[in-house]
A and B are shown apart, each in its own frame.
Chain A
Amino acid sequence: MPADLLNSNRSPNWNDAGPSEPVVVYEDVSIAFDLKPVLENISFTVQRGETRIILGPAGTGKSVLMKLANGLLCPDSGTIRVFGEEITAMREKDIYKLRSRIGMVFQESALFDSLSVEDNVAYRLHEDHVPEDEIHKRVVEALKFVELEQAINKFPSELSGGMRRRVSIARAIISHPDLILYDSPTGGLDPITSTTIIELVVKQRDVSHATALLITHRLQDAFALARNRFNKETGRMELIPDGGIEDSTRFLVLNEGKIVFDGNTEELVRTTDPWLQEYIS
């Protein structure tokens, strides 16, 4: 296990948001495309160290919700605060600085197809003018974390869907971000590869304790995240004994652009809402 990633040296900036302050705050956020509302009056918070799983049927605005969190989209109304800074009122130039603390894994990986795996993973470090030796060392560590160090010289077109997703995770975590956004990391993958990806997400959660937002429409992935933990000794994901649940994992369920559930795993399982019961059954 790469020591650098195990002993995360992230440096949270407590000046802009105290340790008890939420990392992400949505207040009454709405957005529409071509006059069609996609998200309506969305309000929720994500605490430091929390993994927030966003569930919901296809087309309910989950990816839009995530892209709003790092300023890739701007809402029509409402405010979004990330690390205590109001991202909705910031200039694009200032948002670029804030994004250095946010990692993002895209739905279709979004790897730069003209760059090798090494250059893809190292992209942010190159932008920050980190010395080449240091870059190579950190790329190897990040690729070891996703168990893909043998693919360092390959190009995205030579990789399978699951491998691309793992490279995308390596690219997102290489700068030790304080917030990681996973946009359907298991979408379109077979169940075995999906489990590998979920294991990586659990590993990242339990190793670095970074705050995370994760979109999925696979309930089994969501519950695997809530019921498993990473064992540093075996280097594998394992079920929490006695049917335990990971406290830092919470759920947000969207339907037709509105929040229909915001709570922890137990509350979700015991819900009395008929639509939600049918959705999770």
Chain B
Amino acid sequence: MPLVSPEIFAKQKIAALQDYSLLSWRAVTNIFSRPRYWPDIFTQMDYIGFGSLPIVVLTGFFTGCVLALQSATSLQQFGAVSMTGNLVALSMVKELGPVLTGLMLSGRNASGMASELGSMKVTEQIDAMRALGTDPIRKLVTPRLYATVFMLFFLTIIADVVGIAGGAIVSVGLLGLSPSSYLHNSYRALVYGDVVQGLAKPIFSGFIIATVGCYFGLKTKGGTQGVGRSTTQAVVVSSVFIIIVDFIVSRAMIGIFGR
């Protein structure tokens, strides 16, 4: 990597932040004016939502399973194995469900968006789109943004449910807990604020995945090597952003709901 002066480095980063902010703003506001590309939104929902279902279900299920196993080991020391359902439900709904689903979608879809848009950029298809009178942000970024935010919300709910189910199977099958006790504890553990916290996070994660993936895709330079670089950057940056924003949202929600 070539060394640049701190001044140029700072200018580059500020310019990148400005470009990202403008792209995000336009991607969000485009939905309020014509033309709207509904077929593209539904296509992206299918690809992002249904396409990601297997990995989200598998990740959620086995996370719930391992959570039950690990927490039972610790709870056993206090004679509180029956509280496993409580711990699994709280962890899945508040933290692991939203974050792991976000990270899974980041790996699958932020990379997909960056590589698809990056390939279009280096083969002049983005310029061709502009030359044909279509705004690429409206046509390519806005559908991906709304589809990701909408589908990630529901994918997170699915991950939470299968995670709790996975925990139930382990608790009943391996730890010998009664199903009703597990589910009762899980249900009682959750309050309104926990659910709001767990469902607010995927909205932010979805926004980050789509905007970061599309930003790096549209900024691609340097042929196929550039596409590879953009893809890697999109996954790394979106994953880090998801975790940072998760902390900020958690702190804000604890401030609002007190837990």
Cβ of A99 < 8 Å from any Cβ of B? yes
Are A67 and B127 in contact (CB-based, < 8 A)?
yes
Instruction: Name the residue of chain B whose CB is nearest to the CB of A102.
Output: B131
Are A113 and B133 in contact (CB-based, < 8 A)?
no
Candidates A102, A106, A127; contact of B128 at CB < 8 Å: A106
State how many residues of chain B have any CB contact under 8 Å with chain A.
14
Instruction: Name the residue of chain B whose CB is nearest to the CB of A171.
Output: B132
Are B133 and A107 in contact (CB-based, < 8 A)?
no
Q: Give CA–CA (A201, B34) in the complex, Å.
A: 35
Are A70 and B131 in contact (CB-based, < 8 A)?
yes
A91-109 vs B, CB cutoff 8 Å, 1 = contact: the mask equals 0110011011010101110
Write the nearest CB–CB distance from A40 to chain B, whole angstroms.
23
Are B123 and A113 in contact (CB-based, < 8 A)?
yes
**Given A92-B135, A96-B135, A107-B130 contact (CB < 8 Å):** no
Instruction: Name the residue of chain B whose CB is nearest to the CB of A181.
Output: B131
Are A106 and B130 in contact (CB-based, < 8 A)?
no
Write the nearest CB–CB distance from B23 to chain A, whole angstroms.
13
Cβ of A72 < 8 Å from any Cβ of B? yes
Write the nearest CB–CB distance from A89 to chain B, whole angstroms.
18
Cβ of A112 < 8 Å from any Cβ of B? yes
User: Which residues of B lie under 8 Å from residue A102 when comparing CB positions?
Assistant: 131
Are A107 and B128 in contact (CB-based, < 8 A)?
no
Q: Give CA–CA (A100, B120) in the complex, Å.
A: 21
Are B133 and A110 in contact (CB-based, < 8 A)?
no
User: Which residues of B lie under 8 Å from residue A217 when comparing CB positions?
Assistant: none
User: Which residues of B lie under 8 Å from residue A258 when comparing CB positions?
Assistant: none
User: Which residues of B lie under 8 Å from residue A99 when comparing CB positions?
Assistant: 130-133
User: Which residues of A lie under 8 Å from residue B133 when comparing CB positions?
Assistant: 96-97, 99-100, 124, 127
Are A110 and B135 in contact (CB-based, < 8 A)?
no
Candidates B123, B124, B127, B134; contact of A127 at CB < 8 Å: B134
Write the nearest CB–CB distance from B112 to chain A, whole angstroms.
13
Are A72 and B130 in contact (CB-based, < 8 A)?
yes
Cβ of B21 < 8 Å from any Cβ of A? no
Cβ of B18 < 8 Å from any Cβ of A? no
Write the nearest CB–CB distance from A258 to chain B, whole angstroms.
25
Instruction: Name the residue of chain B whose CB is nearest to the CB of A103.
Output: B131
Cβ of A223 < 8 Å from any Cβ of B? no
Are B125 and A112 in contact (CB-based, < 8 A)?
yes
Write the nearest CB–CB distance from B60 to chain A, whole angstroms.
31
Q: Give CA–CA (A171, B132) in the complex, Å.
A: 9
Candidates A93, A96, A106; contact of B127 at CB < 8 Å: A106
Cβ of A123 < 8 Å from any Cβ of B? yes
User: Which residues of B lie under 8 Å from residue A96 when comparing CB positions?
Assistant: 130, 133-135
Q: Give CA–CA (A39, B125) in the complex, Å.
A: 24
B153-177 vs A, CB cutoff 8 Å, 1 = contact: the mask equals 0000000000000000000000000
Q: Give CA–CA (A123, B124) in the complex, Å.
A: 16
A101-143 vs B, CB cutoff 8 Å, 1 = contact: the mask equals 0101011101111000000000110010000000000000000
Q: Give CA–CA (A171, B130) in the complex, Å.
A: 14
Write the nearest CB–CB distance from A118 to chain B, whole angstroms.
15
B102-134 vs A, CB cutoff 8 Å, 1 = contact: the mask equals 000000000000000000100111011111111
Candidates B35, B125, B134; contact of A110 at CB < 8 Å: B125
Q: Give CA–CA (A106, B120) in the complex, Å.
A: 13
Instruction: Name the residue of chain A whose CB is nearest to the CB of B137.
Output: A92
Q: Give CA–CA (A96, B127) in the complex, Å.
A: 12
Q: Give CA–CA (A67, B130) in the complex, Å.
A: 11
Interface residues of A in 5-64 (CB under 8 A from B): none
Are A127 and B130 in contact (CB-based, < 8 A)?
no
Are B128 and A104 in contact (CB-based, < 8 A)?
yes
Are A72 and B134 in contact (CB-based, < 8 A)?
no
Q: Give CA–CA (A102, B128) in the complex, Å.
A: 12
Write the nearest CB–CB distance from A150 to chain B, whole angstroms.
23
Are B130 and A110 in contact (CB-based, < 8 A)?
no
User: Which residues of B lie under 8 Å from residue A113 when comparing CB positions?
Assistant: 123, 125
Instruction: Name the residue of chain A whose CB is nearest to the CB of B26.
Output: A92
Candidates B124, B129, B130; contact of A108 at CB < 8 Å: B124
User: Which residues of B lie under 8 Å from residue A93 when comparing CB positions?
Assistant: 135
What are 21 of the A-B contact pairs (CB < 8 Å)?
Answer: A92-B135, A96-B133, A96-B134, A96-B135, A97-B133, A99-B131, A99-B132, A100-B133, A102-B131, A106-B127, A106-B131, A107-B124, A110-B127, A111-B128, A112-B129, A123-B132, A123-B134, A124-B132, A127-B35, A127-B133, A127-B134
Closest 4 CB pairs of A and B: A110-B128, A110-B124, A104-B131, A99-B133
Q: With contacts A72-B131, A99-B133, A112-B129 known, what are 18 further pairs, Cβ within 8 A?
A: A70-B131, A92-B135, A93-B135, A96-B134, A97-B133, A99-B132, A102-B131, A106-B127, A108-B123, A110-B125, A111-B125, A112-B125, A112-B128, A113-B123, A123-B134, A124-B132, A127-B35, A127-B132
